Every structure is written in C-alpha cells, then in structure tokens.
Structure 1
Amino acid sequence: MAPEMYQDEILLSPPSRRDVTPEVWRDYVTKRATAHRRCAGCAVLDACLYRAVVEVDVSGFLACTSEAERRRMRRDLGIEVQVDSSPYGTARVGGGPVDHAEVVSARKAHPDETCRQLADRLGCSTSTIKRHLRQEREGRGGGAVVTMERPSMTDVLDAFDRLDTSRRV
C-alpha cells in the first residue's frame, strides 16, 4: 500500500489536457498509470470498487477509477450516491463531521490553498473537502442519503469493464 501515491494532488484533482503543459500531462498520465497498476493488483479491488461506486461518494483516484469514471458508472447503473451529512452517516477520517458551510467558507477565505491544505486546516480528509466543493458547484450544498436498489457486484464489475480505462494497464 502506498497512500502517498493516491493522495497526490494531481490524482485528486486531475488536470484537463488542454489546460496544462505537455510535461504536466505526462506526469499525470504516468502517476495515474502507476496507481492503476497498483490498484489492479490489489486483493480487495472488487470490494473497494463496489464501495466507491455504490456506497460512498469519494473524491480522487480509487479502485482504478477517477471521480468522473465512477459518476459514469453510476449513470450506467441508474444509481445516485449522496453522502449523509449527519454524525451517524458515512465514516470519514478525522475528528467528526465537517459542516458544508465551513468548507465553503474556508475555500473563500483561502482560495489559493490546495484541497490537502484545506483538509489539514479543517481536520478532515481531502476527499471530504473535494466532495463538499463539488456539491457546492453542483448546487447541492450537502445532501441526504438517497435510497435506491443497490446493483449487484456483477453489475458494478460489468459497468467497470465498459470503461475505456479498464482495458488500459
């Protein structure tokens, strides 16, 4: 396991190819390929992928997928995953729930800080920061758990197999 690999800011916030230099793009592609290979060889990949797609809305690179790929898989599966913001909702790293307004206020107060710096400032994970900022961009400002029929592991693995990146290692 190499948590520092998956916590690299470039994997947490992938660049748009048209917005970066060729060197930065190559760095991103190399780091993603390395993380993908390591993830693909993990004994708990299937369970990790299922949890990341069906149970918990996480940010960054996880289970050989990006956030965009997991959103694509959810659309394909006809599910929506939102995180319960109650103290008894989805477990997270840190000292307790982080208020959505607190994350948005911290971003406004410190616009030049990275997600990792904001997470350190608020005592939570980078994934939590990214989730709240994404919800704010999408106009969802937090949210409740949506109850839907869960897809099977086979359904999730089939959706993964339909991703272009699942065939590139």
Structure 2
Amino acid sequence: MTGANSTAQQTPACISDAELFMDELLEDPSLAQTREERRRLQLLTAKAEQNCLHCPLLEQCLYDAVVKHEVAGYCAGTTQRQRQLIRHRLNWRVEGENLDIFAGVHSGHQIDHDEVLRLRQANPTDSLESIALRLGCSLSTVKRHLRKERRGESIGRVKLAPVSPSVEQVMAAYQDVMGVREQGRRAA
C-alpha cells in the first residue's frame, strides 16, 4: 500500500519519534550533569538534528519556534539557545503567552483611561476586580491606569506592533547561527 507509506513518510519525526523529542535531556539540557548524561545529550541532539533536517516542515517549524512561540527543548533543528541567538540577530522578541484569556479577559482592545477613572470615581467602594470585569480587561490593567493617574504620568500612544521577520530572514539568521556553530566545532 503506497498510500500508507507516503503518509508515514510525511509524518514529522517529532511526531513519529515523539519519545526522542520529549526526552528530558533534550527538554532541559542543564539536567546533563555527568559525563554519561552529556554524551547521551550529544547523541540525542545529533539524532534529533538529523530528523529535523530531513523534515519537510523544517522551515515553517523553525519560523514558528523563532517568531511566534517560546518553545522549550529541541525544535526545528535548533536548541533553545540557538533560537535565542537567531532572535537576537533578527532583533526580535517573542511575547509571553496571554494568560488573561483564561480569566475571561479579551486582550487586543484599548482600554479608555478616562473610563477607568470615571468608573472608579462613580463606584469608590467597588473592588478593582469588578471594574476590570465591567471593562473586559485584567485587574492589572485597571491598577496600571490608576497608578499612572496617581503619579501624574501621561497616557502614551498605543504602541504599534513590530513587523514580524520574514521566513527568508529567519532562515538567513538560522544559517548564520548554525554556520557559527559549525566553525566553532572545527576550531575545537
């Protein structure tokens, strides 16, 4: 059955060999304390690297791991440190996960500073949490607006979202970082 074989060939190694990619040493290389553990980490990393380099999803996986998400462990042919170096070359920072969503707060909309102050003045005995719920924002947002008012700080303009690097820029930075690593190996 060629259909089953072609499906198996298209399955990324991180799925077909999930145990390798979820190994605790690849997830957290700092756990490799003994000589045997460091040697095992080298072998696991080499095997994972070969699997990733032959994966048809490498480019998209690398882009997502560098630009969109902070991924722990080995991913897209790179270690967490290598992805940090790639981001540094691209002058890119991955934003932290928005945990407000789990609290029922919808981010992405601007909260009116004057509305926060108006609600606080109109309801001085209400909790800040209840004001946050009415506005559909987090408690920390309400506190931030009230703190700025108390300090007399001006309310700045909305920051424009930075332009994400292109796939080509990520791949070029990846090649630079991996090239630096290869030169370092030859020099040693």
Instruction: Specify every segment of 5 or more residues in structure 2 that has no aligned partner in the other structure, as ranges.
Output: 1-15, 104-159
Distance (whole Å) between structure 2 residues aligned to residue 76 and residue 164 of structure 1: 12
SS at match of 1:61: coil
Which of the two has greater helix per residue? Answer: 2
Equivalent residue in structure 2 for 1:4, among 7, 19, 35: 19
Matched, 1:147 2:147: no
- Superposed displacement of residue 86, structure 1: 3.5
Separation (CA, whole Å) in 2 of partners of 1:87 and 1:63: 29
Which residue is 1:13 aligned to? Answer: 28
Structure 1 position 27 matched with structure 2 position 40: yes
Deviations 1:34-81 (A, max 9, x none): 011001110100000000000111111100111111111111001100
Amino acid at match of 1:20: Q
Alignment match, 2:117: none
Question: 1:15, 1:25 within 8 Å by CA — same for their partners in 2?
Answer: no
Tell me the residue number matched to 1:76: 89
Pair 21,86 (structure 1): closer, same or farther in 2 beyond 3 Å = closer
Partners in 2 of 1:63 and 1:14 — Cα distance? 16
Could you tell me how far 1:87 is from its partner in structure 2? Answer: 6.0
- Range moving further from structure 2, 7-16 or 31-40: 7-16
Q: Secondary structure at the residue paired with 1:79? A: coil
Query: What is the identity, as a one-letter code, of the residue corresponding to 2:166?
Result: S
Tell me which residue corresponds to 1:91: none
5+ residue gaps, structure 1, are 89-95, 98-145
The aligned residue for residue 176 of structure 2 is: 162
Using the alignment, how far apart are the partners of 2:70 and 2:58 within structure 1? 17
- Aligned-partner SS, 1:80: coil
TM-score in terms of structure 2 length:
0.53
**What is the correspondence of 1:1-169 to structure 2 with a 5 Å cutoff?**
1-15=16-30, 20-86=33-99, 147-164=161-178, 167=182
What CA deviation, in whole Å up to 9, does each residue of 1:3-38 have, x standing for no partner?
A: 11110000000138xx72221111000000001100
Q: Could you tell me which amino acid in structure 2 is paired with residue 68 of structure 1?
A: R
Structure ID, larger Rg? 2
Aligned-residue identity in percent = 29
CA distance in 1, matches of 2:39, 2:97: 37
CA distance in 2, matches of 1:159, 1:40: 16
Q: Tell me the TM-score normalized by structure 1.
A: 0.59
- Structure possessing the higher relative contact order (Cα contacts under 8 Å, 6 or more residues apart): 1
Letter in 1 for 2:21: Y
Paired positions, count:
111
